């Protein structure tokens, strides 16, 4: 691992997670879950390290990471934005919400703003269809969102708070 760009602490953490799961390839998804919780995302180096620990080809790890929408290879913003594209939200204009967020933050779906504050993703149904259309920002759910209010919602978030 000469060209490892990960910090030593990150390597130690990932190694520990793999060990807790017995370096068992069958535990790959659980290991990826915990690793992403720990680091916020799963960069190539982490996938390579996990593949090495589990003694599986890195393409197997990458295949799982790239298959599940939950896993991300890029760092998310401090306030990840998820717009629900479930059926109810969709028919109530969720796509317009996405367009508004894109316009306001100048990013595409799957991207993070240059200052690392916001990132934008879509998801399918958060189980709050009665509030459609729904978006989640940094864990907080906003319901019945009018596209016209997106700007003020974003501006209302105190991005300086820890």
Partner 1 sequence: MEQNKINITIDNRPFSVKKGTTILDAAKANGIEIPTLCHINLKGTCVDNHPASCRICVVEVGGRRNLAPACATVCTEGMEVRTNSIRVLKARKTILELILSNHPNDCLVCPKSGNCELQALAQKLKIHETPYADGERSKHEVESSVSIVRDMNKCILCRRCETMCNDVQTVGAIGAINRGFITTVAPAFGQKLSESECTYCGQCVAVCPVGALTERDNTGKLIDDLSDPNKIVVVQTAPAVRVAIGEEFGYPAGTIVTGKLVTALKQLGFKYVFDTNFAADLTIMEEGSELLDRLSRFLGGDKSVPLPILTSCCPAWVNFFERQFPDMLNIPSTARSPQQMFGSIAKTYWAEKMGVPREKIVVVSIMPCLAKKYECGRDEFKVDGNPDVDYSLSTRELAAFIKQANINFNSLEDSEFDSPLGASTGAAAIFGATGGVMEAALRTAYELYTGKTLEKIDFTEVRGLEGVRQATINLNGFELKIGIAHGLGYARRMLEDIRHGKSEYHAIEIMACPGGCIGGGGQPLHHGKMETINARHKAIYEEDKNMPLRKSHENPYIQQLYEEFLGKPLGEKAHKLLHTHYFSKQ
Closest CB to partner 1 among residues 9, 67: 67
CA distance 85 to 91: 9
Q: How many amino acids of this chain bind partner 1 (CB under 8 A)?
A: 15
Closest CB to partner 1 among residues 57, 116: 57
Is residue 109 within the footprint of partner 1 (CB under 8 A)? no
| DSSP per-residue letters across 55-105 | TS-HHHHHHHHHH-TT--SSPPPSEEEEEE-SHHHHHTTHHHHHHHHHHHH
Return the residues of window 65-84 that contact partner 1 according to CB under 8 A. 66-69, 73
CA distance 137 to 134: 10
Is residue 85 within the footprint of partner 1 (CB under 8 A)? no
> Contact residues for partner 1 (CB under 8 A)?
44, 47, 56-63, 66-69, 73
């Amino acid at each position: 691992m000469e060209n490892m760009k990960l910090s030593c602490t990150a390597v130690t953490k990932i190694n520990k997670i793999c060990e807790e799961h017995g370096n068992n390839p069958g535990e790959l998804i659980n290991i990826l879950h915990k690793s992403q919780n720990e680091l916020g995302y799963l960069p190539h180096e982490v996938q390579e390290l996990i593949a090495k620990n589990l003694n599986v080809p890195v393409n197997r790890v990458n295949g799982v990471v790239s298959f599940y929408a939950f896993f991300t290879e890029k760092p998310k913003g401090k306030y990840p934005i998820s717009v629900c594209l479930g059926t109810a939200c969709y028919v109530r204009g969720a796509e317009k919400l996405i367009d508004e967020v894109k316009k306001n933050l100048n990013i595409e779906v799957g991207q993070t703003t240059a200052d690392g504050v916001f990132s934008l993703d879509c998801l399918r149904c958060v189980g709050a269809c009665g509030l459609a259309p729904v978006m989640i920002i940094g864990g907080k759910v906003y319901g019945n969102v009018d596209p016209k209010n997106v700007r003020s919602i974003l501006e209302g978030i105190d991005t300086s708070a820890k």
